[in-house]
A = this chain, B = another copy of it.
Amino acid sequence: MEIKALDETVKGWLQISRKQILAAMQQPLTVATKSNRNDLVTNVDKANQAFLIQQIHAAFPEASIEGEEGQAAKADRLAGLVFFVDPIDGTMNFVKQQANFAVMIGVYQDGQPLYGAIMDVMRNEVISGGPDLSPNLNGEPLTPPLDRPFEASLVGISGPMAIKNRLHLGELGLASSGVRMSGSAGMEFKSIALGRLGGYVSWLQPWDVAAGLAIGQGFGLVVTRGDGQPLDLLEAGVVVAGMPQVHAAFIAGMNA
C-alpha cells in the first residue's frame, strides 16, 4: 500500500463527501434516534456512508469495511485490509449546530494502523497521517504536540463520564488545566493533533477512534483501553488517548 497515493485517494473522496453534505444541509434532515435519545442518525449519515462504501469497494475490492450506520457487513476479523468509516461523527452537533462534526476514515492492515483522515466539514480542514505519513493539515505539516504534565494540560472528557465521575474522570478533569468538550471524537482527535488538548477519554466505537489512532502514530500519541491494555478495534469501550504524560496520568487515576 503506497500511503501517499492512499492519502490522495481518500482526500478526494472526502472532498466529494463534503460537497454532498453541504448540499444536503440545504434540505430538511430526517433524524432518528439509535441507542438513546442523544444518539442520532440522519439521512445524511446514511447517504455519505453509502457513498464512501461504494468508493472503497471500487478502489479496494479486497477490503473489509466497518461503518457506523449499519449498511456495511460487520467485519468479524481484522485480517487483511480494513477500512473504518464514520460518515458523520458528532451527529448531534451536525443536527443542532451545523458545525463541529467530522467525516473519518481509518485504514488498517491485519489490525495494524496504516492511515487515518479526519475532515472537519464546515472548516474544510483535513488532518491525515499514520505511522509512515507525518501528520498534516490540508497537506501542511503539523508541529508535533508538546508532551506536557497532566496538570498543565487541557483535556477532553466525555460529558456524562465527567459529570458522573465515572472512573474518577470528574476528579481528573478538575486536576487538569481544564476540561473541554466538543461533542465529536473527531474534533477531539483534531485538537490533540493541533496541540490544543493533551488527551481525551470517552466511550467510543471502533469507527470513532480508528482514524485518530492511526494519525496519532505519526506524533507519539498513546491510545489504549481504560485499563491501559491495547484496544480491541472490533469492540466499543472506554478509550484513553493522550500524549505520554497525560495518558499515563489518566490510566493511573482511572484505575486508582
Residues of B within 8 A of A92 (CB): 154, 177-178
What CA separation (Å) do A164 and B173 show in the bound complex?
11
What CA separation (Å) do A174 and B174 show in the bound complex?
18
Q: How far is the CB of A91 from chain B (nearest CB, A)?
A: 11
Q: How far is the CB of A174 from chain B (nearest CB, A)?
A: 6
Given contacts A38-B178, A181-B180, whether A96 and B163 have CB atoms under 8 Å apart is: no
**B196 pairs with A96, CB closer than 8 A:** yes
Residue from the list B98, B153, B164, B179 in contact with A159, Cβ < 8 A: B179
Contact with B along A168-209 (1 / 0, CB 8 A): 001001100111111100000001001110000000000000
Residues of B within 8 A of A177 (CB): 38, 92, 96
Residue A160 at the chain B interface, CB threshold 8 Å = yes
A residues lining the B interface (CB < 8 Å): 37-38, 92-93, 96-100, 151, 153-154, 159-160, 162-165, 170, 173-174, 177-183, 191, 194-196
With A96-B177, A98-B196, A163-B163 known, 11 other A-B pairs at CB within 8 A are: A38-B177, A93-B154, A97-B191, A97-B195, A97-B196, A160-B174, A162-B162, A162-B163, A163-B165, A163-B174, A163-B179
